[in-house]
Structure 1
């Protein structure tokens, strides 16, 4: 595990979605120990306040709390307004929130929940905060994907899994979308001081998927848990991408175990990435115009 330097992130503000438990909470703890000012986003007020108290008690400094269900576009927009009003500087945005559902669920926007939370929430929040990130450059966008993207495919004819639903297929599609989004964002931000990278945290022991687990999860996860990473170890690559000085100008890369790695062949399809950007912009009501300085 990488060595943590107490003041390495002093003066830097880091925003983490899904920062109340698992990898997100461990990422917040690690960056707080490096002197960062944290802003954590959670869905539940009580859990988010509790996580903030834990981070402060562990030696973290300032920890701001924001509450939003990021599967709802209205709540993402309200959150962005709150952040822009209350957090004058954002140096790192970590798109960490994500989920898995064995059965098909719809959001308040009548979108399939996996695609809405795992991809569209990051797409919308990042775009709404880009001006603030540019103003405080050099800054970074870090998006938590998964090696599950390697078996993912973007089905533009059925993005919402209306014809047939599989929790695994929906999840893998969303994780491929994370990487396509990251690479396209990096291309659009080439002339700026904002970098964009994605990562695989490793198979980590958390409550991920517990809300609506598959039969295989219920059977095999308890058996696999002793061999999984702890949340602290699962957070190492996120912390590295958020803080490592030698990554200040590295962009458009995929990392695992804190090292760059080739992602799947489909993830480098620039035409698919550009199309996904346009479709995503339409779904969240944003202009698909290039994101330039």
Structure 2
């Protein structure tokens, strides 16, 4: 089955996820959807110092939004902030240094952020693909800690702030790679069997899709969406998937093309006319499963995922300094 899933997915990717796929899809875009003034609205973008996160932050800043950049590396983040300010002329750009693999840091950050800022749109973009099994200082597998638990804590702790805002939205940058994975709640930290970083990443991205669907059911006043940016030429792809990059580099999307649907989901009025909880690609909702791939999960597994993540979250809240 994995051979079938991977083959069908790769053929689909060659047709849809490349630069050519974007150019074909973009013929049907309405440019006016994103030609909007978002002055007075506040956006938080994680992983915003490069790639899709930086491209998204830049385009929001260009439209007048207040942008909070949440980054791990202070030096790179400061350079990115200055570049965004210079390119857009928007000085309402704020920088926060947070390691998304460290749940205690996220708790500390969100508690402080809620007391000092408003928030209209949260964009969960930060992610990692570590190809060897690494544990964080808290004993968490690093991909899971960043992509799944970090996204969960960042979102759920900011929900109360978002619920105070008009037209509140949460967008999570996932990956079409999740199509090759069925939710596996029995091994969330990939401790059983051989470790394959690419498949672990794909599993995390499946978890993000499930989280988004569950959040949409639980929080009716916030519009949740999750999306696939396509295969884009970003620093993360170059460093984490060098073989894939070498094979596909002439066909990859630019980071701005990869960020297009994130921007559309974040600023357009059209996005929120569609139901909450959907998975998007090139401004369109698309299926979350490949045909005949048997990747659907029973509802109890999806509910169990949320229960386990909440247990992790509360565990780290209790030991977070200042919380």
Q: TM-score, normalised by structure 1?
A: 0.90
Contact 1:184 1:270 in 2 (8 A): no
Shift of 1:218: 2.9
Where relative contact order (Cα < 8 A, 6+ residues apart) is larger, the structure is 2
Which entry has the higher C-alpha Rg, 1 or 2? Answer: 2
Give the one of 107, 120, 126 matched to 1:77.
107
- Alignment correspondent of 1:201: 229
* Aligned counterpart in structure 1 of residue 283 of structure 2, from 258, 273, 282: 258
Query: What pairs with 1:184-195 in structure 2 (closer than 5 Å)?
Result: 184-190=214-220, 193-195=221-223
**Deviation (angstroms), 1:270:** 3.1
Q: Distance in 2 between matches of 1:141 and 1:23?
A: 16
* Aligned counterparts of 1:22 and 1:134: Cα–Cα separation in 2: 29
Between Structure 1 and Structure 2, which shows a larger proportion of helix residues? 2
Cα displacement (A) at 1:149: 0.6
What is residue 246 of structure 1 aligned with on the other side?
270
CA RMSD of aligned residues (A): 1.9
Deviations 1:69-120 (A, max 9, x none): 1100111111112311332x10000000011111001112211111110111
2-structure distance, mates of 1:18, 1:152: 24
1:90 lines up with 2:85 in the alignment: no
- Structure 1 position 66 matched with structure 2 position 90: no
* CA–CA separation in structure 2 for the residues paired with 1:168 and 1:81: 33
Aligned residue for 1:106, secondary structure, equals coil
Deviations 1:194-230 (A, max 9, x none): 111100000000111555x4xxx33341231121000
1:173 equivalenced with 2:198 (yes/no): no
Q: Matches of 2:182 and 2:199 in 1, distance apart?
A: 8
Offset at 1:157?
2.0
240-249 or 227-236, larger mean C-alpha shift: 240-249
The two structures have a TM-score, normalised by structure 2, of 0.82
